[in-house]
Structure 1
Amino acid sequence: MALKVELKPNERIIIGSVVIRNDEQRTRFFIEGDAPILREKDILTPATADSPAKKIYLAVQLMYLAGSATHQHEVYFQLVRDFLQAAPSALPHVSEINNCILSSELYKGLKSAKKLIAYEAELIENAKRV
């Protein structure tokens, strides 16, 4: 079954290792086959990965796009170690990401990493109140 994708004007999408940018009009197309796909709203770049949790997300994103859990493996685990040292309460979120990576469910790992980003924002907000 094909994946139906609708792109807004000028929206970007990554399919495999290619970035596609839409023209000025809304577009609908169907993707048949198996390739990593990320919509613009889910893409982080090194410049936009401006927090520890976002850097973890970026590492998982690069694993997903490469189709390999071993890609960025060392970088990912160093980032996770540093994050957990600063925020041990994030262990359940990190464990969820790790389980996704170990079971080769890298897209689910990205979703779990988004939860970690939200948790990090919550921690920062709580720290500002204190």
Structure 2
Amino acid sequence: MPLRVELKPFERIVIGDSVIINSNTRARFIVEGDVPILRERDTVSPETADTPAKRLYLCVQTMYLKSDAGRYRASYLACIDELRSATPDGARLTEAVDRHVAAGALYKALKEIRGLIACESPAIAPAEAVP
């Protein structure tokens, strides 16, 4: 099923291994095929992966964009164990993430992790972000 994408001026989008930067006007296009796509605002960089949920997101994001889940399996397991230890109340959500990853539905796993990031405890947030 084709994906319709609309980009704001100068917005970036990651398609596979490529980063596409829009020009100074809105752009609309349709992507056909099975290629991993993430808007820049939905990505986490190694520098911003400063909590267990964000580290898990970065790992799954890499698995998704590189289309190579097996290569990152050990890192994924370490990240999910770290998150389960840090937020035992998030067990239901981490189980959902694990099911999606096991099924190869990495984009759905990323959506679940975004929910974990949003409800991550301030106690495990980076020290400089805590008032």
Cα distance, 1:84 vs. partner? 1.5
Give the equivalent residue in structure 1 for 2:62.
62
Question: Are the aligned partners of 2:56 and 2:76 in contact in 1 as well (CA < 8 Å)?
Answer: yes
Distance, in Å, in 1 between the alignment partners of 2:89 and 2:45 is 26
Question: Are the aligned partners of 1:5 and 1:29 in contact in 2 as well (CA < 8 Å)?
Answer: yes
Structure 1 residue 50 and structure 2 residue 50: aligned? yes
Distance, in Å, in 2 between the alignment partners of 1:27 and 1:103 is 33
What residue identity is the alignment partner of 1:96? A
Question: Are the aligned partners of 1:97 and 1:113 in contact in 2 as well (CA < 8 Å)?
Answer: yes
Distance, in Å, in 2 between the alignment partners of 1:86 and 1:32 is 40
Work out which of the residue numbers 94, 100, 122 in structure 2 matches 1:124. Answer: 122
1:43-122, aligned counterparts within 5 Å?
A: 43-120=43-120
Cα distance, 1:68 vs. partner? 2.7
Distance, in Å, in 2 between the alignment partners of 1:90 and 1:96 is 10
Cα distance, 1:89 vs. partner? 1.5
Distance, in Å, in 2 between the alignment partners of 1:37 and 1:115 is 19
The answer for unaligned runs of 5 or more in structure 2 is 124-131
What residue identity is the alignment partner of 1:98? D
TM-score by length of 1: 0.88
Cα distance, 1:4 vs. partner? 1.4
Question: Are the aligned partners of 2:7 and 2:22 in contact in 1 as well (CA < 8 Å)?
Answer: yes
Cα distance, 1:20 vs. partner? 0.5
TM-score by length of 2: 0.87
Question: Are the aligned partners of 2:9 and 2:23 in contact in 1 as well (CA < 8 Å)?
Answer: yes
Question: Are the aligned partners of 1:96 and 1:112 in contact in 2 as well (CA < 8 Å)?
Answer: yes
Structure 1 residue 22 and structure 2 residue 31: aligned? no
- Percentage of identical aligned residues: 44
What residue identity is the alignment partner of 2:37? I
What residue identity is the alignment partner of 1:114? R
Residues matched between the structures, number: 123
